[in-house]
Each structure stands twice: as C-alpha cells, then as structure tokens.
Amino acid sequence: SAHHQSEFSSPKTGLVVSVFQKGDDPINVINHMMSFLTSVVTSRYPTTNNQLRTSSNPRQQATINDGMVTIQPIQGRQNQMSAGSSRPFTSGSGGTSGRQMVIVL
C-alpha cells in the first residue's frame, strides 16, 4: 500500500518539486531534503519489492536552484562537489537569489 503519486510515475525523468523558499535556512533545507529523499526512495522502492535497485545505480543528485528541487540519477562515478562552480553556499552575486546547492548522496 505504497503512496503512488503522479510525479513519481517514471523513474527515468527528473522530478521537480517546489517545496523550498529562497529565504530558508540552509540547514533546514538540507533536513527537509533528506526527509523528502527518504520518502521518495521508500515510496518508489518498497522493502517488499524484489526489484529493489540498490546495486545498479543507487546514487542520486539533488540540486536546489531558485527554490526548486531537482532530483536526477547520476550516471557513472561523478563527484559534483569537487568542481569549483558547484560549491554549496556560494556567496556570489545576488546573495540568496543566485544560490545553488548540489548534494550528492
């Protein structure tokens, strides 16, 4: 009896969910994202499902940009945190409006 929602219908397409505001505290954003990712994983892959895809590609990339959260699978072994342009909490131009966070699980 998993919660089937329309935005989780196709695992190959990236989900875009607008649940965060631009002025949110970064720690609260991360905590909410972890709860969101946990709910996505548990709803998409219930524990009783024998097709649980944990060995093929368990890593997912979640990007917060302008209040939008995008979750997409990462192909291969990429380390987004090593790139200078993907550094989280950058204090560049525009302050929080131009902020981008990349979290690799």
What does the pLDDT read at residue 38? Answer: 77
> What is the pTM for the complete model shown?
0.24
What does the pLDDT read at residue 30? Answer: 78
Give the percent of the chain with pLDDT over 70: 15
As a whole number, mean pLDDT of residues 11-26 equals: 57
Please classify residue 62 by burial: count the beta carbons closer than 10 Å to its beta carbon, then call 0-12 exposed, 13-18 middle and 19+ buried.
Answer: buried
Band of the pLDDT at 36, cuts 50, 70, 90? confident
